[in-house]
Amino acid sequence: MTKDYRIYELGEVALQSGIVLPSAQLAYKTYGSLNAARNNVVVLPTFYTGNHSRNEGFFGIGRAIDPTKHFIVSVNLFGNGLSSSPSNTPAPFDGARFPDITLWDNIACQHQLLTHELGVERIALVAGWSMAGCQSYQWAAQYADMVDAILPFCASAKTSPHNYVFLEGVKAALCADGDFKGGDYTSPPVRGLGAFGRVYAGWAFSQTFYREGLYKKLGYENPDALLDDWAEDHADNWDANNLLAKLKTWQLGDISANPMYDGNIEKALAAIKARAILMPCTDDLYFPPADNEIEASYMPNVDFRPFDSPWGHCVASPGNEPEFEKTLDSYINELLSGD
């Protein structure tokens, strides 16, 4: 089957952990063209269970991010099965031996892709949902002089303790499957993957979403049907070690966890020069607005704009909430216009 993405060969990558990952690769796809002024670049990293194709729901002709106007670079997160991941990395870093990779590592490699391979000097906007939004914060703190604007939605600059605990829960459900074998499974641990999906479904939407039966708008007759579908999706479509590698990256998320900021999150937030709009969902159970409101208090050029919806974290999934899409596009237009 023909691939619809390109591979950038990074070679040896020295990770924050001290491990050197040999023959590292970034999978990416571009849309549109770099203009003469070289000022139309929009970077869209991928979210936790996303890839470049799923990012296509956030842009299009006539939308705020438009491939006829912008040079869109959609970069796959390490661990998602396309970029270097447990499932496609040879020994000694295969499977359960894949090293911990931070958002700092991801963005350093994305920076190399953009500057060395694509000839990008400035970024007009970095935007994204969930872990992609976390990467937009990371871009703005790590390369403050390169990024003009960011729009993280349903994301945070630092993974909160409560978010960490949520992730430990889904991790435990997966690893409890006897077939997981500490990550050295010979066939997919389908029971663990299904349990992972079922636990995840309880956090992805809000209590109000379930109480008001909004799952019916997604074609589910009842909550059990949604749970069954989420379990089947994870069992059929995801490698267990890949899920856990990205989960670890999420848990380690902290834009200040590096030599630039020495763990001082306030300093890291204050160093962000980019214009920013923070767009949490009021009912998001693991990226609650209160976290973003605290972040905004340290950022010099920011608007804090929660979106009120019972859809919770999945309000941003393309197609779920049309009003969210309209609002997102209006904010993106605002940032790209420089207003």
Tokens of 154: 């349903």
DSSP string, 262-297: TT-HHHHHHT--SEEEEB-BTT-SSS-HHHHHHHHT
Sheet with strand 149-153: strands edge to edge: 6-14, 20-31, 71-75, 41-45, 125-129, 149-153, 275-278, 302-304
How does pLDDT run across 281-324, given as a tens digit for each residue?
Answer: 999 999 999 999 999 999 999 999 999 999 999 999 999 999 99
Chain centre distance of CA 23: 23
Beta bridge partners of 276: 150, 302
| SS3 category, 63 | coil
Q: Any idea which residue has 């074998």 for tokens? A: 181
Cis peptide before 318 (omega within 30 of 0): no
Q: Enumerate the active-site residues.
A: 130, 284, 313
User: Which domains are seen in the chain, by residue range?
Assistant: 6-160+254-337 (3.40.50.1820), 163-247 (1.10.1740)
Asked if residue 1 has pLDDT above 60, the reply is: no
How does pLDDT run across 177-211, given as a tens digit for each residue?
Answer: 999 999 999 999 999 999 999 999 999 999 999 99
**pLDDT at position 339:** 60
DSSP string, 174-223: HHTSGGGGGG--SS--HHHHHHHHHHHHHHHS-HHHHHTTGGGGGT-SSH
